[in-house]
Amino acid sequence: MGLTSHKLLALLALLAVGTVLGTLWVWPRLAVRSWPAMFLRLGTVLVTQLALLATLGLAVNDYFVFYSSWSDLFGHERGTAVIQGAGPGAPPGVQVLGTAEVTGAASASRDRAQVGRLDRVRLPGTTTGLSTDGYVYLPPQYFQPGNEARRFPAVLVLTGFPGDAANLVGKLRYPAHELDLLRTGAMKPTVLVLMRPSPSMPRDSECEDVPGGPQAQTYFATDVPADLRASYRVLDGGNALGVIGDSTGGYCAVKLGMTHPQTFAAAVSLSGYFKAAEDVTTGDLFAGSAQRRQLADLNWRLAHLPVPALSVLLADSKEDGGTYADSSAFAAAARPPLVVAQATVDSGGHNFTTWNRLLPPSLSWLSAHLGDPA
C-alpha cells in the first residue's frame, strides 16, 4: 500500500486501537513481581506507543503531504521537472562573517575560480532597521581573470518558515546546483543571496510591511538589493535581480515580484501558496485592515489591480496537496504583461527531496530571465 493510502491509515489506526485494548486485557496477567513480567509490561507499552505515533505521523503526512510515497520518504524519488509556458522574455553594505564550504559540489577543489566562494553574511537594513544572517554565493566566474570589472545578475533565495538559511546550502544545495548548471551551460553565472523569509524571527512576517511592526517587504525589496550592490559586483537595472523560494519563501517570491516588479524581473515559487498565513507565529499582520489583507492575497491582486510586467514560474509536485491546483488556477488567470509558466514533477511531497528535483530547471529558467553580464 502507498504511503498516502487511506487503507494504510485505517489499518494503522485499527492496529493502534488493538494494541491499546490488548495492553488493557493482558496487563492484569503481567502484574507479578518477576523480571520476565517486567520486560513484557515494558514491551506492551513500547508497542502501544509506536503504533500510536505511527498512526499520528501518517495522519499528519496524509493532511499536509510532506511525503507522497515510500521512495519520497526515504529520498529515492527520481525524475526531472517539465516547464510549460512562455520562454525568456550609513552606506549599505553586507557584513561578511566568514566563509563556508560549497556543500555538494562535484569538485573537491577549493580554488575560487573553479567552485566560487560562499560567504556567511549579515545583511543590515539601513531603511528598516532589520537585520538577517544568511549566505552569499559568488560563482567561479566572479574570480576568474579578466572578470575583475564584470557585474553579475543576482537571485534572492528564501527558505520556508521557520527554516534556517543553512538548509539552502546543505539540503537544497543551491550553490552546488548552480555549479552543475554552469558546467553544462544551462545557467548564466549568478550571485545567490540565501536567507530566511522573515527578518523578524521568531515572528513570521510573511514578507509584509506590518503596521507598527517589522517592515519585511521593504527590507527585502530595498535594503537587501542595496546591501548587495554596495558590497558585491551585482548588476543594476530592470533585469538584474530575481527571487526564488520554497513554501513560505515561494509565497514571498511571487509577492515581492508582483509588488516590486521594478526591482525583481522574475520570480519562482517552489510549492508556495498565494495568501498570507495568519496564525500564532504571524500575529496580526494587517492591524485589522481588510484592505491590507486583500493586498497580501496574490489572487485578489491578480483580479483587481493592474497586472505587473513580471515573469513567474510556479514549480510544484502534482501530488503536493492543494499547491499544484492553486498554481494551475493562478497560471490560468494570468494575463499580459504578467507571464506565468509552470514546472511540475508527477510525484513528491512538500519537502526538500521534491524541491531538489525542481531546482535545476527552475534556476535555469530564472537565469534566462535575468540580465546577461557583459
Residue 374 lies in a domain: no
Supply the CATH number for residue 207's domain.
3.40.50.1820
263 and 358 belong to one structural domain: yes
290 and 358 belong to one structural domain: yes
Q: Compute the C-alpha angle 69/75/81, nearest 5°.
A: 80
What cell numbers appear for 75 in the block?
Answer: 529520498
Residue 141 lies in a domain: yes
pLDDT score, position 56? 86
Q: What mean pLDDT do residues 203-207 have?
A: 94
Model pLDDT for residues 254-291, shown as the tens digit of each residue: 999 999 999 999 999 999 999 999 989 999 999 999 99
Residue 46 lies in a domain: yes
Does the pLDDT of residue 93 top 90, yes or no? no
Q: Are strands 117-124 and 95-100 parallel, antiparallel or unpaired?
A: antiparallel
Percent of the chain with pLDDT over 90: 63
Which residues, 6+ apart, have CB-to-CB distance to 262 below 8 Å? 238
Percent of the chain with pLDDT over 70: 89
125 and 213 belong to one structural domain: yes
Residue 150 lies in a domain: yes
Listed residue (171, 180, 175, 167) closest to 191, CA to CA? 175
Model pLDDT for residues 20-61, shown as the tens digit of each residue: 898 888 888 787 788 888 888 888 889 998 988 888 887 776
102 and 130 belong to one structural domain: yes
Helix (H, G, I), strand (E, B) or coil at 191: strand
Residue 36 lies in a domain: yes
- For 220, the domain range is 82-368
12 and 89 belong to one structural domain: no
Residue 111 lies in a domain: yes
Residue 265 lies in a domain: yes
113 and 27 belong to one structural domain: no
Q: Which of 17, 37, 64 is the last residue of a domain?
A: 64
Does the pLDDT of residue 78 top 70, yes or no? no
139 and 224 belong to one structural domain: yes
Listed residue (344, 368, 354, 311) closest to 83, CA to CA? 344
307 and 360 belong to one structural domain: yes
Residue 142 lies in a domain: yes
Residue with cell 511592526: 213
pLDDT score, position 95? 83
> For 13, which DSSP code?
H
Does the pLDDT of residue 65 top 80, yes or no? no
Please report which residue ranges of the chain form alpha helices under DSSP H. 6-26, 35-64, 70-73, 112-115, 166-170, 174-184, 216-218, 224-231, 248-259, 290-295, 298-304, 323-333, 352-368
pLDDT score, position 72? 55
Average pLDDT, the chain: 88
pLDDT band (50, 70, 90) for residue 16: confident
The Cβ of residue 19 has, within 10 Å, a number of other Cβ atoms equal to 19
222 and 325 belong to one structural domain: yes
Model pLDDT for residues 169-189, shown as the tens digit of each residue: 999 999 999 999 999 999 999
pLDDT score, position 231? 94
pLDDT score, position 87? 46
pLDDT score, position 337? 96
347 and 252 belong to one structural domain: yes
pLDDT score, position 43? 87
Our count of domains for the chain comes to 2
86 and 60 belong to one structural domain: no
341 and 281 belong to one structural domain: yes
